[in-house]
Amino acid sequence: MSSSTMASRKARHEALTGWLFALPFTIVFIIVFVAPIIESIQAGFHKQVAEGGGLFGGGRTVEKFVGLENFQDVCTNPAFWQGIRRVMLFGVFQIPIMILTALLLALILDSYLVRHPGFWRLSYFLPYAIPGLVAAIMWTYLYVPEVSPFAGHLGFSLLSSHVILASMANMTTWTFTGYNMLIFLAALQAIPSDLYEAARIDGASGWEIMTKIKIPMVRGAAMLAVLLSIIGTVQLFNEPTVLATVATWMPRDYTPMMMAYNTMNGNISPSGAGPASAVSIMMALVAGGARNDLRPGPEEGGLTWHTARPPSPRMASLTAPHWMVSLLDRLPPPRRPGQSHW
């Protein structure tokens, strides 16, 4: 048997082995992810309609193909777009506050300012470990003036229509800041230590290291955190649903997610799986459009170097992104996860 034939058999065997290892994941992925999406899209083109019966009722309810009627109903429904505007307004002021707070906490934990960083890292992440529904119920009690230790002394209601979005933003910021902090912290701890050493040799201060190295190099992590936050904002559900139990003025379609849920349960007309699926698909399209608008441009990888005094010829020649490649070629073993450089 020739060597080329043996090599070909070995290559086929390796390929088959790879597919066999991936087969369990592929099956589970299709069952729990692909199949529900296909079913939801298919349901979006159907609607429950009454068939048969007479003047005094009777008959039955059947699923009927209605084409794009469900999507037309969603697109022409003012309540859906009002819900989209609410979650957009929610995200405009909530996401920047949460992202900046998470970045600040990550920078502090990556510095010499904190003793026992593991304890504080766990403390910041702990709210995310609490189930969202439980956290929403806890904050709801703190917002009700009759049982809250502070809400009755504010002079205004935290559950009023003008303030409730800020109340929800406080709940989600408390829950997800620690999660985003871990994203930033992982990105900070992946920065090569040679960059900090070269910066110190060139006379950079701790503030300059933070603003000229750390923050620019976590730009990708910031983009990831923002995209996840936008998707989560469009899916805002736990907080308004729980607050609606005490804020009786809140409609059932206050957010798009509430609209889909109540449409499915028959609390909003037209109801059923078809109209609810159409609402969900439109939500996905809106979230996907926001993600594409935030796609980083070609300049995202760039990094401008500034120091207190003119850089050395070696550092001056390392302009982004080539300076990073040059340093990575000479890297010693990466720094340990708890080591910091402020």
d(CA 209, CA 308): 11
pLDDT band at 111 (very low <50, low <70, confident <90, very high): confident
271: confidence class by pLDDT, cuts 50, 70, 90? confident
* Average of per-residue pLDDT across 101-107: 94
Q: Which residue has the higher pLDDT, 14 or 124?
A: 124
Residues linked to residue 65 through DSSP beta bridges, in sequence order: 46
Q: Are the C-beta atoms of 185 and 110 separated by less than 8 Å?
A: yes
Q: Strands (DSSP E) along 37-78, which ranges?
A: 46-51, 60-65
3-state secondary structure of 62: strand
Q: pTM for this structure?
A: 0.74
Please give the structure tokens belonging to residue 258: 């509430």
Mean pLDDT of 220-228: 92
% of the chain surpassing 70 pLDDT: 81
pLDDT at res. 298: 46
CA gap 176, 135 in Å, rounded: 11
Tell me the fold of 80-267+286-328: MetI-like fold (1.10.3720)
Domain spans of the chain, in order of start: 80-267+286-328
